[in-house]
Amino acid sequence: MKNINSKFVLMLFLVFAIPFCLYIGKTKPHMQSVFMEENIKNKVQTILDSNKDKELISNRSYDKFIYLVFNKDNVKTHYVIDTKTGEETSLFYYIKEERKEDFFNKINELLYLKYPKFIADSLVGEEKIKDVLLFDNELVLYYDKEGIEPKIEEDLLLHVNYNEVKDYLDFTLLLDSKYENENGYHYDKTKKTVALTFDDGPNGEKTNRILDILEENKAHATFFMVGNRMEYDKSTIYNVLNKGSEIGSHSYNHKNLKRMKLEDVLEGEEKTQEIFKNITGKEIIYTRVPYGSINDNIKENLNTIFINWSIDTEDWLHRNKDRVVQTVLNEIEDGAIILMHDLYDSTVEAVDTLLPILYAQGYQVVSVSELAALKSVQLEQHKVYHSLKEI
């Protein structure tokens, strides 16, 4: 009888216990999932409660994490909660491990596109990134600017469209069909801006060294060249134009136009135009008369826009780097036109020192045409301009 009861109990156990165990096995992952969802909800709620004094500006769920951003007094704080582990983590965790080097190489490439070399050199490296924020179509990197000389007052940050880094990030992205990267040559109408100009070239090596310095500092300039020197230095003319700067006339042979017959002045300008057009296929629209020496007769008969200056560095007289730099810094103001000469090593050195300082002080350094456009000034023929103020 005992044996029969034992067998009966065993059969009942098998009939009920096995399906129950199978049921538990099937529901366990579901139970774990429910538990994790509840845990994440509690995590998010805790973060929300602890930041009640701040404005919630982003609360988004991505396929692998939940992302929250708060703002208070223009200081942003963000949280990343992994939806698999429920733990707080970093956005950098979602860069594909095997593509991290590619990701940061791309970031560095975009840094040098936006900022002058002296800034970009200081920002290269993951350790210089102090924060990263996600937005609809881009991520924004915020940088530590400590140690940069000259000291930069503005915040340093980089907007990176997801199209640029989509192959390196390990989460689903919203991609724009069209986008444009930040570029240091996309000048801002709201910023202080000055035009940098050089007379008496082209001068081969020194002109080209200045062009390299301009490029490193996201700057342009206007080079007023002497006509009879142009045809002997075509490569420099091409380099000026290819790097985004512009060329004006500084007469044909650098004589004082007021002491010349008008027909000789006109003939000289025609020669200069012809030489320039033969080299470039373009026409010169600006003229700076030698020594700034001009009269009404010249103004009325030359079909050009006359550009003089508001800051004379006298670099030709003193040939001293520090004096040139200090002259500009003492007299600089929005809309100024700065006069230099691309003939002297001291001037090249002064430009190299000056441009980072001006950038740090919030100035954009551009060509005459760019300055006029940024200041909404319509330049007219037969008029002389010493500076360009916004109308």
pLDDT, tens digit (0-9, with 9 covering 90-100), for 187-227? 999 999 999 999 999 999 999 999 999 999 999 999 999 99
Per the structure, the count of domains in the chain is: 2
This prediction's pTM: 0.88
Report the pLDDT value the prediction gives residue 40, as an integer from 0 to 100: 87
- One domain, residues 227 and 139: no
Report the pLDDT value the prediction gives residue 390, as an integer from 0 to 100: 66
- One domain, residues 358 and 215: yes
- One domain, residues 158 and 218: no
- One domain, residues 273 and 131: no
CATH of the domain at 359: 3.20.20.370
To the nearest 10°, the Cα dihedral for 67, 144, 122, 184? Answer: 70
Report the pLDDT value the prediction gives residue 37, as an integer from 0 to 100: 81
- One domain, residues 138 and 284: no
Specify whether the CB–CB gap between 328 and 312 falls below 8 A: no
- One domain, residues 250 and 294: yes
- One domain, residues 318 and 378: yes
* In-domain check, residue 22: no
- One domain, residues 208 and 346: yes
And the tokens for 223?
């080079």
Considering the candidates 102, 199, 318, 382, report the single residue annotated as catalytic. 199
The number of CA neighbours under 13 Å toward the Cβ of 152 is 21
- One domain, residues 226 and 365: yes
* In-domain check, residue 178: no
pLDDT digits 0-9 by tens, 278-335: 999 999 999 999 999 999 999 999 999 999 999 999 999 999 999 999 999 999 999 9
* In-domain check, residue 230: yes
- One domain, residues 257 and 368: yes
- The last residue of one of the domains, among 128, 150, 165, is 165
* In-domain check, residue 151: yes
Q: Of 187, 201, 196, 193, give the one whose Cα is nearest residue 237.
A: 201
Domain span at 229: 192-385
Which residues of the chain carry a pLDDT beneath 70?
A: 1-36, 390-391
Assess whether the previous peptide bond of 150 is cis (omega < 30° from 0).
yes
* In-domain check, residue 157: yes
- Active site annotation includes 341: yes
Report the pLDDT value the prediction gives residue 195, as an integer from 0 to 100: 98
- One domain, residues 150 and 249: no
Considering the candidates 233, 250, 341, 342, report the single residue annotated as catalytic. 341
And the tokens for 33?
């999932």
- Active site annotation includes 322: no
* In-domain check, residue 303: yes
How many angstroms separate the CA atoms of 170 and 242, rounded?
A: 39
- One domain, residues 232 and 98: no
How many angstroms separate the CA atoms of 304 and 358, rounded?
A: 30
**H-type helices in the chain, by residue range?**
2-50, 100-114, 117-123, 162-165, 204-216, 227-230, 234-242, 262-280, 296-301, 315-318, 321-331, 345-360, 368-374
